[in-house]
Structure 1
Amino acid sequence: MIFVQPIAEITVGTSVLAQPFFSFLNHPLLATANETGAEQSSLILAGVLVSLVVIYIASKVGGELCARINLPPVLGELVGGAVVGVSALHLLIFPESGSQAADSLIVKFLETTAGLTPESAASVFSAQSETISLLAELGVIILLFEIGLESDLKELIRVGPQAAVVAVVGVVAPFAAGTAGLIYLFNISAVPAIFAGAALTATSIGITAKVLAEIGRLSSTEGQIIIGAAVLDDVLGIIVLAVVASLAKTGEIEITNIIYLIISAAVFLVGAILIGRFLSPYFVGLVNEMKTRGQLLLTALIFAFILSYIASAIHLEAILGAFAAGLVLAETDKSRELEEQILPVADIFVPIFFVCVGAKTDLSVLNPAVPSNREGLIIAAFLIVTAIVGKVITGFTLWQPGINKLAVGVGMIPRGEVGLVFAGVGSASGALSESTEAAIIMMVISTTFIAPPLLRLVFKDKPDSADEIQLDSATSQDSSSN
Structure 2
Amino acid sequence: MLQFLSSALGWPPILAETIEIIESPEASTLILVSVLLGLVVVYLASKLGGELCVRVNLPPVLGELLGGVLVGTSVLRLLVFPSSGAGAEDVVLLNFLQQISGAPDNWMPTIFATQSEVISVLSEIGVIILLFEIGLESNLDELLKVGTKAAIVAVVGVAAPFAAGTLGLIYLFHIATIPAVFAGAALTATSIGITAKVLSELGRLNSPEGQIIIGAAIIDDILGIIVLAVVSSLAKTGEIRPSNIVILIVSSTAFLVGAIFIGRWLNPFFVNLVSSMQTRGEVLVVALVAAILAGLIAQFVRLEAILGAFAVGLILAETEKGEELKEQVKPLADVLVPIFFVVVGAKTDLSVLNPADPVNRAGLIIAGFLLVVAVLGKVITGFSLVGSSTPLNRLAIGVGMIPRGEVGLVFAGVGASSGILSESLNAGVIVMVIMTTFLAPPLLRLAFRGEPTTAVEPGS
TM-score range, shorter chain: 0.7 to 0.9
- The answer to whether structure 1 residue 453 and structure 2 residue 446 are counterparts is yes
Q: Report the CA distance shift for 1:162/1:276 in structure 2 as closer, same or farther (over 3 A).
A: closer
- The answer to whether structure 1 residue 204 and structure 2 residue 183 are counterparts is no
Amino acid at match of 2:280: R
- The answer to whether structure 1 residue 475 and structure 2 residue 453 are counterparts is no
- Alpha-carbon distance in 2 for matches of 1:439, 1:98: 20
SS at match of 2:122: helix
Measured after TM superposition, the shift of residue 295 of structure 1 is 0.3
Q: Report the CA distance shift for 1:178/1:111 in structure 2 as closer, same or farther (over 3 A).
A: same
Residues 101-138 of structure 1: per-residue CA shift (max 9 Å, x gap): 11111211111223322121111111111111111111
- Alpha-carbon distance in 2 for matches of 1:122, 1:351: 26
- The answer to whether structure 1 residue 347 and structure 2 residue 334 are counterparts is yes
Query: Which region of structure 1 is more displaced relative to structure 2, 432-441 or 177-186?
Result: 177-186
Find the counterpart in structure 1 of residue 404 from structure 2: 419
- Alpha-carbon distance in 2 for matches of 1:346, 1:108: 31
TM-score (norm 1): 0.78
Amino acid at match of 2:284: L
> What does 1:157-172 align with in structure 2 at a 5 Å threshold?
157-159=144-146, 165-172=152-159
- Alpha-carbon distance in 2 for matches of 1:309, 1:191: 30
Among candidates 180, 193, 196, match of residue 183 of structure 2: 193
Residues 191-210 of structure 1: per-residue CA shift (max 9 Å, x gap): 74255222258693564687
Among candidates 386, 390, 395, match of residue 409 of structure 1: 395
Q: Report the CA distance shift for 1:369/1:428 in structure 2 as closer, same or farther (over 3 A).
A: closer
Among candidates 236, 239, 244, match of residue 219 of structure 2: 236
Cα contact 1:415–1:444 (8 A) shared by 2: no
- The answer to whether structure 1 residue 304 and structure 2 residue 291 are counterparts is yes
Among candidates 436, 443, 446, match of residue 436 of structure 2: 443
SS at match of 1:204: helix
Find the counterpart in structure 2 of residue 227 from structure 1: 210
Measured after TM superposition, the shift of residue 182 of structure 1 is 4.8
> What does 1:45-444 align with in structure 2 at a 5 Å threshold?
45-159=32-146, 165-182=152-169, 185=172, 187=175, 189=179, 192-193=182-183, 195-200=185-190, 204=195, 207=198, 224=208, 226-244=209-227, 253-400=240-387, 407-415=393-401, 419-423=404-408, 425-426=410-411, 433=426, 435-444=428-437
Amino acid at match of 1:420: G
Gaps of 5+ in 2: 1-19, 418-425
Aligned residues: CA RMSD = 3.4
SS at match of 1:99: coil
Find the counterpart in structure 2 of residue 16 from structure 1: none
Measured after TM superposition, the shift of residue 302 of structure 1 is 0.4
Amino acid at match of 1:475: E
- Alpha-carbon distance in 2 for matches of 1:438, 1:136: 22
- Alpha-carbon distance in 2 for matches of 1:155, 1:99: 46
Q: Which has the larger radius of gyration?
A: 1
Q: Report the CA distance shift for 1:341/1:240 in structure 2 as closer, same or farther (over 3 A).
A: farther
Cα contact 2:161–2:184 (8 A) shared by 1: no
Amino acid at match of 1:473: A
Identity of aligned residues (%): 47
Cα contact 2:213–2:401 (8 A) shared by 1: no
Amino acid at match of 1:71: L
Q: Report the CA distance shift for 1:267/1:452 in structure 2 as closer, same or farther (over 3 A).
A: same
Measured after TM superposition, the shift of residue 366 of structure 1 is 1.0
- Alpha-carbon distance in 2 for matches of 1:172, 1:368: 31
Amino acid at match of 2:244: N
- Alpha-carbon distance in 1 for matches of 2:75, 2:225: 32
Amino acid at match of 1:189: P
Measured after TM superposition, the shift of residue 300 of structure 1 is 0.6
Residues 41-99 of structure 1: per-residue CA shift (max 9 Å, x gap): 11111110010011111111111111111111111111111111111111111112110
Cα contact 1:377–1:439 (8 A) shared by 2: no
- Alpha-carbon distance in 2 for matches of 1:269, 1:385: 32
Q: Report the CA distance shift for 1:376/1:74 in structure 2 as closer, same or farther (over 3 A).
A: farther
Equivalences, count: 426
Amino acid at match of 1:197: L
Cα contact 1:311–1:318 (8 A) shared by 2: yes
- Alpha-carbon distance in 2 for matches of 1:272, 1:378: 44
